[in-house]
Chains A and B, each alone.
Chain A
Amino acid sequence: MYADLVGRAQRGDREAFDELARTAGDRCMAIAFRILRDFDHADDAVQTALLTAWTEIRALRDPDRFEPWLHRILTHACYAEARQRRRWTEAIHLISVEPASGPDPYLTVDDRDQLERAFRRLTVEQRAVLVFHHFLGLPLPAVADRIGIPLGTVKSRMYHAKRALQASLEADARASSSQERMA
């Protein structure tokens, strides 16, 4: 699918890379937003990833692996973006973005808010594992390949992420019911 475009991009063809970027960019944005939970930071991470991909594309050995390769670059761009954000804007409250895809009737507004809070409490590395597995639907070995970490690390992050999410949700639920009792 990508072989011709990658080949041309590796020879410096900007039009070909532009086409590659447009083929893969939307999915990158979807991934980055879900990892970072912030539209502007996700936008920055995707732009950084695409520019890095342009710079590094000659090192890509298998053109058919362009998208996994790009996703690995994107993941690290998200890590860097998260570190930078933590450094400079830790105290800023981020406003939730109105979902572009329709809300899932399975989740109530309260559910969504609780999950949003719980998700933000995870490390960016844990979020990445969840996003690649639950959003892209990749099996864990593919997640390991995509992010560039051992399978054991993926499993460990997945386990701790879910445990933290569950604990967070339960704590929120306890806080809600105690507020209701107070009222």
Chain B
Amino acid sequence: MSAPRDLDRQIQSFLAEGPLELPEPSYAQVRDRMETTRQRADFGLWRTSLMSRNLKYGLTVAAGVLVVIVGYQLIGGATPGGPAATETPQPSVSSEPASAEPSTSGEASLPVGLHVMEAVSIPGHGDSNDGVTVTIPAPGWFAEPDGGSVTKDLGGDDRVTVVLVPGDFYRVPRNICNWLTPDLEQEIRIASTVDELVAYLAEQTYDTTEGSLTRELSTPVDITTIDGYAGQSITGVVPAFPYGDPRRCIEQRFCSLLDRDGGLCLLPHLEPNALVTLWIAEGDGHSCCRVVAASYWPTTRTDLLDEMNAIVDSMTFVIY
């Protein structure tokens, strides 16, 4: 600089220069991409007037927003409300879900039987390759029609949600409240195996009035639940928000898992005291893991939990 000047004034003058408009073609591109991008469903409690019945009480594992039931058609022969299909789902049968249009009915209970669940694309990651066939074991389960999840809500604490978390590799924030730290290398680690993912989750912290605490998770249990893939299952309680105020957390939610770029929460939690179980199965060699999550409450009735477990047990991965 040729002469000493006030730095603030210089910065302001410098920043005043530069483009002030987004080019018209960019708006058009956004508009085009919106046509093929689903909105994630809202799982909060703050807009009940806009929500359908199955969302009315919100979800804890809002990762369910990334799950779509592609159509409510049965792949097998079950009729609505009737018994479940008995034949084993074949990937060749379920590999053509594109022909099944997402249902627009948010009020209709899913027919008992076999369905395809397809995780929606993560923005910026291209099309999703995540999908499962799943058997709905009993009436009363709902899928949010526009990028929803599988939920059964009998009122009060008798409310269960099962979701398929999309993605191939996951970043795990150390602090589940302040989960969007820009210091990725220090604060957010990427998990490339089931063991790493479980270990990183067990080390996550949350803020309290007494300081930072490590979240409490159950001891991992070895599983072969999901389509025969080995893995581990863990359960944890969603902690209270710092000072009871969700606004103290990024986007007013806790977050356990981020996408591989670390910018998008794939497993948010909105409801303190809810229980969350994760089934983390080995990937196919090109990915870390396949993650299924469920949320429920400590006093949720056991028959509902049995249905939840039956749904997870019935899952078969679909390769598109």
Residues of A near any B CB (own CB < 8 A): 7, 10-12, 14, 17-18, 21-22, 25-26, 28-30, 33-34, 39, 42-43, 46-48, 50-52, 54-59, 61, 72, 76-77, 79-80, 83, 97, 99-104, 106-108, 110-112, 114-116, 119, 124-125, 130-131, 134-135, 148-149, 162, 165-166, 169-170, 172-173
Q: Point out the residues of chain A lying under 8 angstroms from B17, CB to CB.
A: 99, 101-104, 107, 112
Q: Can you add 4 more A-B contacts, CB < 8 Å, to A25-B27, A43-B22, A104-B13?
A: A29-B21, A43-B26, A59-B62, A101-B20
Q: Point out the residues of chain A lying under 8 angstroms from B1, CB to CB.
A: 110-111, 114, 169-170, 172-173
From A107, which residue of chain B is reached at the shortest CB distance?
B13
**A29 close to B20 (CB less than 8 A):** yes
User: Measured between alpha carbons, how far is A46 from B10 in the docked complex, in Å?
Assistant: 26
Interface members, chain B 194-232 (any A CB < 8 Å): none
Q: Point out the residues of chain B lying under 8 angstroms from A54, CB to CB.
A: 30, 34, 37, 39
User: Measured between alpha carbons, how far is A29 from B263 in the docked complex, in Å?
Assistant: 19
User: Measured between alpha carbons, how far is A17 from B31 in the docked complex, in Å?
Assistant: 9
A31 to chain B, nearest CB (A): 10
Interface members, chain B 127-146 (any A CB < 8 Å): 146
Number of chain B residues close to chain A: CB under 8 A: 53
With beta carbons under 8 angstroms apart, the residue of A46, A59, A80 that contacts B40 is: A59
From A124, which residue of chain B is reached at the shortest CB distance?
B182
Interchain residue pairs A-B with the least CB separation, the first 3: A58-B42, A29-B22, A99-B17
Q: Point out the residues of chain B lying under 8 angstroms from A83, CB to CB.
A: 184, 261
**A52 close to B39 (CB less than 8 A):** no
**Does B96 touch A at the CB level, under 8 Å?**
no
From A145, which residue of chain B is reached at the shortest CB distance?
B247
**B26 close to A58 (CB less than 8 A):** no
12 interchain pairs, CB-CB under 8 A: A18-B34, A30-B19, A30-B20, A46-B22, A47-B29, A48-B124, A51-B30, A51-B34, A54-B34, A55-B123, A80-B124, A148-B180
